[in-house]
Copies of this chain bind each other. A is one copy, B any other.
Amino acid sequence: MSRQFLAEGGLTLTGGGYTIVGVVAVVALAALAIGYVLLREVLAAGQGTAKMQDIAKAVQEGAAAYLKRQRNTLAIFGVIVFLLLFALPADDWNERIGRSIFFLVGAVFSFTIGYLGMWLATQANLRVAAAAREEGGREIAMRVAFRTGGVVGMITVGLGLFGAAIVVLVYTGQAPKVLEGFGFGAALIAMFMRVGGGIFTKAADVGADLVGKVEQGIPEDDPRNAATIADNVGDNVGDCAGMAADLFESYAVMLVAALILGSSAFGSSGLIFPLIVPAIGVITAVIGVYITKARAGEGGLVTINRSFYISAVISAVLSAVAAFVYLPSSFSDFGAEFAGNTGNPAVIATVAVIIGIVLAAIILKLTGYYTGTEHKPVQDVAKTSETGAATVILSGISVGFESAVYTALVIGAAVFGAYLLGGGVALFAVALAGTGLLTTVGVIVAMDTFGPVSDNAQGIAEMSGDVDEKAAQILTELDAVGNTTKAITKGIAIATAVLAATALFGSYSDAITKAVGGTGAFIANIVSPETLVGVIVGAAVVFLFSGLAVNAVSRAAGAVVQEVRRQFREIAGIMEGTTRPEYGKVVDIVTRDSLRELATPGLLAVFAPIAVGFGLGTGALAGYLAGAIATGTLMAIFLANSGGAWDNAKKLVEDGNHGGKGSAGHEATIIGDTVGDPFKDTAGPAINPLIKVMNLVSVLIAPAVVSLSLGGGADTTWRIVIAVVAVAVIIAAIVVSKRRGTVIENTPAEAKA
């Protein structure tokens, strides 16, 4: 915090700088090419029986239909935000146009990656299910699943890095401002895809389970359940499309934050080094994906972790080399204005990047411990199933709380550690730790995609009935591994959110200082009541957002329950298996409802910072962001890990522990899992893009808030009008969603089968 961030206007790249950024862009394109190679490999794998292909096709069509409708909905929203963004203050037309255009680029990239991730997963699940039936099926299935993730990983890092490199090449001095637009577009669309997909997947899942497992006593993924296809579609639009967009957003926003701060900390070199580190990450991700080979007698998680650790070590070594080759050993070499900073830039950068990589490794370890079937916490939760559902819920909540605390403390320690590196570039060091984290994203995405692909493969296997006991066992194991990798990804994603948000605080301060026209640093004193109130409001918005998301799932699930019950009642022969239920109807209902339901949390994310900023001022807005980051971090991890622990506790019981399938204990864990569903797949993961969207909105509106605050008179009126309108939008959105009724209430009791 010792320097101001006002330098970016005058930056230019040297010839050597252009070359390096050009090389980074080429590396990014290479990542896309490798993604294509992996894609070919995945598509070449066997596709199983005709029945399996039939089912997969239904899932593919449902998923595509959903995303098409979502695209149309989001396009309208995108245009409105594009126009609002265009209206916000900017230094000149170049910045204004660039910011808005790259907002669209970020949004389109985000959607494209989500779409590709989903499309690919619907292709791969079939192939994983088919592979499980072959000789040595476990290794092949695992390879197909992990390579599928590799494709998504490569595209994520490729597009993210390419976009950022192009902005730097084209806009140099104004790159930071344009990058804000790029990051905002990516984050906004990712948030909508996370929320919409999350509501879809869990509404279908919970709805299917409530009627299927609980009321009719038929197993999961039973083809007689009309919600089964919707459930499998949901895995793809939620866990694949939503997740891929989210990770792309994490990647893009972190890179944006690093570049913004880099330019002010290191001058134009700061626009280059934050690109070199993730470029290294591309190389190590490729290595990581290719070396992932399941060994006989080794758990799937062990295999994946090994790849992660190997690529993390390679990243750390290469980043250190890059730092020492590229960065000078004294700040004064950057120019006279940096002479006041102490320390060795190369050392600071190296340590910061390593902090980020180590952070990713610790989160991996921690999350694996708290949500994996082979560790004590999940085993304890499974054990409490013997004393009923209440103790399952309480123990799962304890696991979630505890893991959230330790993960948040580790993230806090990483931020503080990077900050202590200091040297006048404390915030940039935090951002560099973020780029260190980014080097692991390729492998992380690959790990994450693993989850829904195996889940769906299991679904296709179950529904087709064409898979034998042994293959089913393989798929169940992979699914449990997937539950843990999904939780790990959420932990890493939220860590990038904290690092990016911390770094963006610098950008926020800068925007305000510049708008005020002074040279003194912006200060939001936390012992001032207005800032403290901001912190409380920020924390409250996280609770509200989580509650809205959970409620949306309940409501949409209620509609599913009604429809499935109706089909059982009105269509003869479903239960006997002689008539096929109308799968498409349920997919349509969930599609409609989830797109309708995403509006309220989405509007809250965009308008809450506007209300706080214009209504209570910049100090309160800073407090608001801090409150949202802190509470959001804990809430996101709590929701993700308690959900993961319940899911795997259920798997443990289903594997024959504590009474096994069909026991009272099993029923207790099913209740736990159902509670965990909207936790881990809807509310929890959406908090990550939420934090980033709110941060970027704040950075973007800061100049306008300041200029209206200083003006007085008519300006004050405008400021209050904007705040009131923002609050009115939020209230209207909440009222409208409340009007739709609460929590499965439109399910009449007499409709029960």
Chain A residues near B (Cβ < 8 Å): 1, 206, 210, 214, 376, 380-381, 383-384, 386-391, 393-395, 397-398, 401-402, 404-405, 408-409, 411-412, 415-416, 418-419, 426-427, 430, 498, 502, 505-506, 508-509, 521-533, 535-541, 543-544, 546-547, 550-551, 553-554, 561, 616, 622-623, 626-627, 629-631, 633-634, 638, 658, 670-671, 674-675, 678, 742-745, 747, 749, 752
Contact = CB atoms under 8 A, between A and B. Distances in A.
A398 B743 contact: yes
A455 to B, nearest CB: 19
A531 B616 CA distance: 21
A565 to B, nearest CB: 11
A691 to B, nearest CB: 12
B380 A743 contact: yes
Given A530-B419, A627-B535, A630-B535, A405 B540 contact: yes
Given A412-B537, A419-B533, A401 B527 contact: no
Given A1-B527, A427-B529, 8 more contacts: A384-B744, A388-B671, A388-B674, A391-B674, A398-B554, A398-B742, A536-B634, A626-B626
B630 A380 contact: no
16 contacts: A214-B387, A386-B747, A391-B554, A393-B393, A394-B553, A397-B675, A405-B544, A408-B543, A415-B529, A505-B527, A505-B529, A527-B622, A535-B627, A536-B633, A539-B630, A627-B627
B743 A394 contact: yes
A547 B402 contact: yes
A483 to B, nearest CB: 18
Nearest to A546: B401
Contact of A630 (B386, B538, B633, B670): B538
Contacts of A388: 210, 214, 671, 674
A508 B536 contact: no
Contact of A390 (B394, B671, B745): B671
B745 A380 contact: yes
Contacts of A402: 544, 547
Number of copies: 2
A539 B393 contact: no
Nearest to A742: B380
Closest 5 CB pairs of A and B: A401-B547, A390-B674, A419-B529, A539-B630, A395-B743
A605 to B, nearest CB: 14
A251 to B, nearest CB: 22
A631 to B, nearest CB: 5
A526 B631 contact: no
Contact of A626 (B412, B526, B675): B526
A502 B531 contact: no
Given A401-B544, A527-B509, A675-B394, A532 B629 contact: yes
Given A387-B561, A638-B543, A630 B629 contact: no
A544 B634 CA distance: 10
Given A537-B409, A745-B380, A416 B523 contact: no
Contacts of A412: 533, 536-537, 540
Contact of A743 (B206, B384, B546): B384
Give the most central of A547, A551, A633: most B CB within 10 Å.
A547
A692 to B, nearest CB: 15
A355 to B, nearest CB: 13
Contacts of A416: 529-530, 533, 616
Contact of A543 (B401, B415, B528): B401
Given A405-B543, A742-B395, A502 B551 contact: no
